[in-house]
Amino acid sequence: MIRPALAALCVALALPAQAQMPAAQQFGAVGTPTSGRAEAIGFYSRGCATGMVRLPESGPTWQAMRLSRNRNWGHPETVKFLQQLSAAATQVGWRGLYIGDIAQPRGGPTPSGHASHQTGLDADIWLMPPPSLSLNATERERLDFAPVTTGTRVNSRWTPAHHALLRAAASDPRVDRIFVAAPIKIAMCRGATATDTPWLQKIRPAAGHDAHAHIRLKCPAGSRFCTPQEPTVAQLSKGGSGCDATLQSWIEPQDPAPAAPARTHPRQYMLADLPAQCSDVLRAR
């Protein structure tokens, strides 16, 4: 039996312990969204969200994947966009889309997997025509990504349909940018003309995106505390498609080889590091 004095001490210790718990663990432990108005709060890699809605696990043209992660929550605009994009995928000859992580029910940092996806405006789509839209929960956990790149080039899994799908996504005014592996962007630059510039500049090279594309939406109207992302330096200086030498340098060996960056751990945010509104979001019933 715990004596009262000891019990009081345990409570006293527990409270600061929770305050010191990384924000990712706290947001990761909340299974439901807040009710009320939808707002993306803060920055894509440092924020949270209210009024999120869940992408239904299955629809006529999509399936949400890795359901056990409970990350199929997004700003209503994001969920609507994904449903529409999955319908557009049928125009390129696919059954629809497999949709990966969007965000946790209240956004925030995740205990694993992403630096961003915190405001309900980032979503991963698989770069793979779905072989079936009737996968069961176990299949959705186990099905593997199939990369469309090998080394510095796209491989035979990359098709004109992939190109058309990403072009459709990037042409949507709600989309701020789309991250794909550099060889994908290089493949999409091939044969591009000036008329492709507006959408092509939204396709940005990013390591690790060889089997999925990461779509980032702009701050939606009504999200008062949402921080937009500045255009990248390349876009500002060239005002162009991003199909330039900088892009090529992503896949070329550097001479001399750059010094290996100091090994750092991803930043682990505490609640106090996030916008102040995120503490209320976490506490809200």
Q: Which residues bind Zn ion (CB under 5 A)?
A: 124, 214
Least distance from C-beta 16 to Zn ion, angstroms?
33
d(CA 265, CA 166): 32
Q: Which is nearer to Zn ion, 95 or 216 (CB)?
A: 216
The closest residue (CB) to Zn ion is 214
Q: How far is the CB of 178 from Zn ion (least distance, A)?
A: 10
For Zn ion, the closer CB: 196 or 212: 212
**Least Å from the CB of residue 115 to Zn ion:** 9
Decide whether 71 or 214 has the Cβ nearer to Zn ion. Answer: 214
Peptide bond into 256 cis (omega under 30): yes
Q: Which long-range contacts (CB under 8 A, 24 or more apart) does 161-166 make?
A: 161/92, 161/93, 161/94, 161/129, 162/127, 163/187, 163/188, 164/91, 164/92, 165/85, 165/88, 165/89, 165/92, 165/94, 166/203, 166/213
Rounded to the nearest whole angstrom, what is the least distance from the CB of residue 176 to Zn ion in the complex?
13
Shortest spacing between CB 69 and Zn ion, in angstroms: 12
Closer residue to Zn ion, CB minimum distance, 45 or 241: 45
Q: Of 34 and 118, which CB lies nearer to Zn ion in the complex structure?
A: 118
What's the rounded Cα separation, in Å, for the pair 167 and 186?
A: 14
> What tokens were used for 230?
């500045």
